[in-house]
Chains A and B, each alone.
Chain A
């Protein structure tokens, strides 16, 4: 068999990035798409209700390889997508190994799942345990059911096999990767006002009660290629299931395009605003600056010291060569924020740190003179090394700020927290004195009741399961008492506009009174109790 150099590099990258130790690949685990970029977005594909692995593999080929990855947008991001499949045969006497029920709808979805404090039944825990080996950003569960349904909740998307040949998966990953809103509304919500989208949660939907002009409309002052300058964008009624007071950017067919994949049309493409948000999601993963060192020690490798302060006015660089530029409207293409595409250089896998210890530096930037590729602003792209991580499944109550740990899963993988603010919540993890920060999307906590005969309404915020990564910690170190860990939750003020919440930014917000600690700080003892 003849392999190209990129393929070989990809195989090596898969082995190094997905697990850090290929011999520990789980049973039924297979590479589906091997990324060639150094720090890809990892997607796990998990079987549900299958009894035949061959059938699952065929559906993965149809839905993922020939479907999702053939979609023009995702095809342009193929190098940045690490896709791994996990087959688990259906356990006898059950309908789902993870508590999914495609026969009973819930809220807005055509299926339901289990939420409990019991690890043996809680869907989020069961899914995470099955795929944690790959430390995925998002999990696609393929259900072997003859239905055409899809639903996304937090870190997973569920689709049944009859979505073949449709936009469903590409649409759902818009929710899953970039927290995009739906750009359609239920017929019963025609003429109904949206309950409200906070201004700093504007993504591809905008609440016009904050002012008539959405941020994507071409302003007179914004320079071309910046956030807020999307030629051809307008104010189209209806978003996030409601028709009134919320708008999206593009009509269905401007300049021969078929917008938007987040709408309800067929064979659609992402509009430029959604492309921009998706680009951010990919670039956040690729950005080596995501692992900030301790902000109290802003040495030369501190990315916050080197990079421009992130914010709503961040400049969008030239589009990557592998993205499609839509003629006519000249939208800002998926950006590479502060970095450029890198040439992958095969790295000698670094030796794993001793159990319970932390790496010498918390950054992926090599010291001067080591390998790596220099980007436009001096940032370096190289694969983040695999390291010990505890993946935590936890229930978070957005009213009290309380975090209840449910399950801790020790893994060895790349550390990939999300820093892009998606609402008002952030968490801070301090491991042996080093600070790590991640965000919690606010829209996880608002479900929608589906009430016959009346308009659909949003519920009050309530508890939901989230996943948190604790880097540089092993189960042994926790039990031996050699790891010192604390976890705290921070509520950000509504006037926070910083798009990336890094340790430095969170420290600044705390100092300025724009971040308030909520709930009780969790400690090693709490972690040990769920390991």
Chain B
């Protein structure tokens, strides 16, 4: 081999080596910059708190609440203060058939891993498919805290929605404005102390959130009449289901949990297929609301509204079912008791 040929060979070998080294570096970079698709399906009466600035969305689950009369004038509803009630006969006394105006007993919130492999958990064993009690839990995703991902909220700013019901109930996009916003309707802001007033919350810096088709198809063509103490105010459809999606940096999804009474403090999930799917669900113990029945628990969102409207102006949604089939098919259908509790955008 001549000197020139040897030199050329050296150059080629060197270039190939350099290319391989660069490729190795690129692969390393690809690994470190990989991401995991995370989807959270949120169903139930959650408070969605959008940031006024920044990208930090928070989803709060509420505590028990009784609307009380501030008899001592300290601006706070103390447990010893009397409940405000529907004084039907206006005799000034709460009779047996006169319910509290708002008395909501929260049953709790569950987190369920629907898709994902539990890589590790601290404080409690987590099993895919089984509900985890989120009582008092605040959940953060460390990888999102530093990722600086923009937040996209796919909804309009006004409520009641226009049009009041989805043009096509089978079209997810037509449900984007169907999560109520009492704050938009009444005005005001969320109470600055809201984080201490709720049972727990999930902190989501960045990502995309949108309302979707209700969890039970019977609500797709139904609507609700919103009434205050005096009159029908408007009609609108509502959905109880919202979808959050984000690409979480890294090959796993880590949840840091503080304050949970269950003892769970950390959960690391590996994707199943190519994703991790979580379900955040508010428990509810009522059956399917009957035609024209009120969704009484809706009033609980008023506790976070500042200033709080006069209780006579509280909106209550009444369920108006879609036209039923006139001829049900044979059989003794045994439905499961369902539930319907929409969220609230603050």
Contacts and interface: CB of A to CB of B under 8 A. Distances in A.
B216 A462 contact: no
B329 A113 contact: yes
A108 B334 contact: yes
Given A66-B129, A188-B291, A451-B324, A149 B331 contact: no
Contacts of A162: 41, 43, 215, 279
A512 interface: no
Contacts of A447: 328-333
Nearest to A161: B114
A266 B331 contact: no
Interface string B162-185: 000000001000000000000000
Contact of B115 (A58, A110, A186, A265): A58
Question: Counting chain A CB atoms within 10 Å of each CB, which of B114, B289, B321, B329 scores highest?
Answer: B329
A109 B112 contact: no
Contacts of B291: 188, 452-453
Question: Counting chain A CB atoms within 10 Å of each CB, which of B41, B127, B334 scores highest?
Answer: B334
B34 interface: no
A110 B335 contact: yes
B333 A151 contact: yes
A446 B332 contact: yes
Contact of B324 (A152, A153, A168, A452): A452
A150 interface: yes
A148 B328 contact: no
Contacts of A236: none
B231 interface: no
Task: In the A-B complex, list the 3 residue pairs whose CB atoms are closest, starting with the nearest.
Answer: A188-B290, A62-B129, A107-B328
Given A66-B127, A162-B41, A165-B129, 14 more contacts: A107-B331, A108-B328, A111-B217, A149-B335, A153-B332, A164-B114, A166-B131, A166-B281, A172-B336, A182-B334, A264-B285, A447-B330, A447-B331, A452-B291
Interface of B: 41, 43, 107-108, 110, 112, 114-115, 127-131, 170, 212-213, 215-218, 220, 272-273, 279, 281, 283-293, 321, 323-326, 328-338
A103 interface: yes
Contact of B328 (A150, A444, A450): A450
B177 to A, nearest CB: 19
A184 interface: yes
Given A67-B130, A104-B325, A186-B287, A109 B333 contact: yes
17 contacts: A103-B170, A115-B330, A115-B331, A146-B215, A148-B338, A151-B334, A154-B331, A164-B279, A165-B130, A187-B290, A188-B293, A266-B283, A447-B330, A451-B324, A453-B292, A459-B328, A462-B330
B336 A105 contact: no
Contact of B332 (A67, A188, A444): A444
Given A58-B115, A58-B272, A266 B285 contact: yes
B213 A146 contact: yes
Contacts of A147: 215-217
A148 B214 CA distance: 9
B334 A153 contact: yes
B4 to A, nearest CB: 58
Contact of A168 (B217, B331, B336): B336
Contacts of B41: 146, 162
A171 B331 CA distance: 18
A463 interface: yes
Nearest to A446: B332
Contacts of B115: 58
A449 interface: yes
Contact of A266 (B284, B290, B321): B284
A176 B325 CA distance: 24
B336 A165 contact: no
Interface in A57-104: 58, 61-63, 65-67, 70, 102-104
Nearest to A102: B217
Contacts of A242: none
A150 B335 contact: yes
Interface string A128-165: 00000000000000000011111111100000001111
B332 A443 contact: yes
Contacts of A263: 337
A203 to B, nearest CB: 13
B215 to A, nearest CB: 4
A280 to B, nearest CB: 18
A427 interface: no
Contacts of B336: 149-151, 163, 167-168, 171-172
Given A172-B336, A187-B293, A445 B217 contact: no
A23 interface: no
Contacts of A168: 336
B217 A103 contact: yes
A274 B39 CA distance: 38
